[in-house]
Structure 1
Amino acid sequence: MAEHPAYPVGLRLTGRRVVVLGGGQVAQRRLPALIAAGADVLLVSPGATPSVEAMADAGEITWERRGYADGDLADAWYALIATSDPEANTRASAEAERHRVWCVRSDDADRATAWTPATGHSEGVTVAVLTTDAKGRDPRHTAAIRDAVVEGLRDGTLVAPHHRTRTPGVALVGGGPGDPDLITVRGRRLLAEADVVIADRLGPRDLLAELPPHVEVIDAAKIPYGRFMAQEAINNALIEHARQGKSVVRLKGGDPYVFGRGMEELQALAEAGIPCTVVPGISSSISVPGAAGIPVTHRGVAHEFTVVSGHVAPDDERSLVDWPSLAKLTGTLVVLMGVDKIGRIAETLVAHGKSPDTPVALVQEGTTAAQRRVDATLATVAGTVVAQEVRPPAVIVIGEVVAVGRPGAV
């Protein structure tokens, strides 16, 4: 038997008798999977660990508090032998052979008729890994392979798209602040399974290079009809591709709902009857300051932080921000999309009581290889932006936490 590899198979044990001999650590590890498989589990053991005893008390297994006796395996479909008595294990293994019951032995795998693979689960898939060389079994190596495969499926680095069961629709995926490693595990997996990706300029562009050749990548910034109509055109593109039966990912920078117009896209899809999944992302409002060494809150310095959009100036009639009230806050103010308006923003805050000496940090291209930090104050920030040629995308942090996070600060 040792000269041939094991034949892998999945056992359907629902309602079928499985006998477990021994209530120790091995049983404690194996019983949950047997219970989840719907097996009718009989545990035969004089004692058991507290966890195993709890399974019996909950009615998940039947426990007979005694040692093994000949005949225990007569009606079994599968057996797990894991007692501390080698003689009992040998007798039970022989009985399993007589009754043609597949049998796992924890003490002597060579004398077993079945081996338990290293298993893991990801999105309805069970990964089971067995060592094919009977003489060179290495449980740690097998488990490491299992872990690598499962992790790859979960984070999308191992591309295994669904085909038969995949449901067409749209996923609004927050790609994070820019570093491709900062997208969520779920976001990366959905991206790996996409047929079409409609990407923002601020999304993690490096991830697009990893997509298979058949994936259609659409640059949302280049969708026609002009700037004013761009959002409507994006909505239409999402709907059209989804109606063609494709799996569509709308890859957005940061989080879809933090100045990302994600709700507008969700509403348009809902009106069109298109199923949509929203995958939150790490917002640049907290991650970019953190990457630059700035905590948006800090004990004894800031007990609050406020995130505002700076895409329109304080004196613009379209602005919905109460700048005078913000000037009175003692916490941290984070401004997104405000590089070209920071001069007027600073003037407004100072005019309503904010100290001109309030520290300001501008973090450009945060979390990417091109990240840089420029420091100023409310009094100097307008000139600093021009002199240092700060360009979007940049996150602006205003408040005393900037000094806490300044290089060399204690």
Structure 2
Amino acid sequence: MKNTFQSNSGQVTLVGAGPGDPELLTLKAVKAIAAATVILVDDLANDAVLAHARPDARIVHVGKRGGCKSTPQAFIEKLMIMAAKEGENVVRLKGGDPFIFGRGGEEVEALHAAGIHVEVVNGITSGLAAISSLNVPLTHRDHAHGVIFITGHAKPGDSGPDWVKLSEAASQAKLTLVIYMGMTHASKIEQGLLSALSASTPVAIIQHASLPEQRQAITYLAQLCETIEAENMASPSVIVVGDVLQGVAALHTQPSLPQQKAAG
């Protein structure tokens, strides 16, 4: 098969900056940042990781944060393509992992279509870092046979996840749900998940995972929205739902809990 990449162009590396703690950056990510001549920095990437950049690297902040004004995705892709065609070594620095709700797939497609060589360096996703900060696993032989990473933020014109069906799947297959960008639609999420999951299913809301300002609230599914309001939790937060949280929930919440399943 003929190589369609332009031999005289630079390259682009999509780098996962991890959940926020700069010490969770991978060695491969450090090397990519150190070699870059242009770095396009996502709003959720910790600027502290830029200490690894070369002094003459051009740093461009291209904010992408839910609920706030963001740099258009098409413009970011255009910047990457233009810089690579000028021979630059471009790093697109993203919070978490580029391929977990980081639009990395869209960027790879755009770069390939433009004939630009692209590589991906994975980072620790915030959903994993958030639950790990509580010393709780995502899977457990007794409590969770698997995990679903799901977004609570739908693309304009998309109805978003079917929380009723997700509730059924999580209940039947014993799955942990890790919900990104779900704070705005917490009420819809709570109502949908209660269709098949017990009202007493434990829930954790973790804000600013892995950072010094991290906050968390432990509650139960029927009290999700109530807890978010009472504890003044806000974005960026990860919501984790599942029986893997039973131990930590018993330590943090009241013993009198609803045990029944809400009517579907």
**TM-score of the superposed pair, with normalisation by structure 1:** 0.54
How far did 1:323 drift? 1.9
What are the Cα deviations for residues 41-86 of structure 1, in whole angstroms up to 9, with x where unaligned? xxxxxxxxxxxxxxxxxxxxxxxxxxxxxxxxxxxxxxxxxxxxxx
- 2:158 maps to what in 1? 318
- 1:375 maps to what in 2? 218
Taking the aligned partners of 1:407 and 1:193, their CA distance within structure 2 comes to 48
Q: CA RMSD in A?
A: 2.4
What are the Cα deviations for residues 129-183 of structure 1, in whole angstroms up to 9, with x where unaligned? xxxxxxxxxxxxxxxxxxxxxxxxxxxxxxxxxxxxxx82110011111111112
- 1:364 maps to what in 2? 207
Q: Secondary structure at the match of 2:189?
A: helix
Unaligned runs of 5+ in 2: 1-8, 253-264
After TM superposition, list the pairs within 5 Å mapping 1:4-403 onto structure 2: 168-221=10-63, 230-312=72-154, 318-328=158-168, 329=170, 330-350=174-194, 352-403=195-246
Contact in 2 for aligned 1:294/1:406 (Cα 8 Å):
no
Q: Secondary structure at the match of 2:109?
A: helix
How far did 1:321 drift? 2.3
How far did 1:407 drift? 7.7
Taking the aligned partners of 1:229 and 1:204, their CA distance within structure 2 comes to 17
Contact in 1 for aligned 2:40/2:92 (Cα 8 Å):
yes
Q: Secondary structure at the match of 1:339?
A: coil
AA at the equivalent of 1:199: V
Contact in 1 for aligned 2:36/2:54 (Cα 8 Å):
no
Contact in 2 for aligned 1:292/1:366 (Cα 8 Å):
no
How far did 1:311 drift? 0.9
Q: Secondary structure at the match of 1:198?
A: strand
- 2:3 maps to what in 1? none
Unaligned runs of 5+ in 1: 1-166
- 1:149 maps to what in 2? none
Taking the aligned partners of 2:82 and 2:250, their CA distance within structure 1 comes to 50
Contact in 1 for aligned 2:153/2:160 (Cα 8 Å):
no
Taking the aligned partners of 2:204 and 2:76, their CA distance within structure 1 comes to 33
State the identity as a percent. 37
- 2:5 maps to what in 1? none
Taking the aligned partners of 1:336 and 1:296, their CA distance within structure 2 comes to 14
How far did 1:322 drift? 3.0
Taking the aligned partners of 2:224 and 2:183, their CA distance within structure 1 comes to 10
Taking the aligned partners of 2:100 and 2:146, their CA distance within structure 1 comes to 18
Aligned residues: 238
Computing the radius of gyration from Cα coordinates, the structure with the larger value is 1
Q: Secondary structure at the match of 2:145?
A: coil
Q: Secondary structure at the match of 1:396?
A: strand
AA at the equivalent of 2:16: G
AA at the equivalent of 1:214: D
Cα pair distance change 1:229/1:208, threshold 3 Å: closer
**TM-score of the superposed pair, with normalisation by structure 2:** 0.83
Q: Secondary structure at the match of 2:222?
A: coil
Contact in 1 for aligned 2:63/2:71 (Cα 8 Å):
no
How far did 1:389 drift? 1.4
How far did 1:282 drift? 1.6
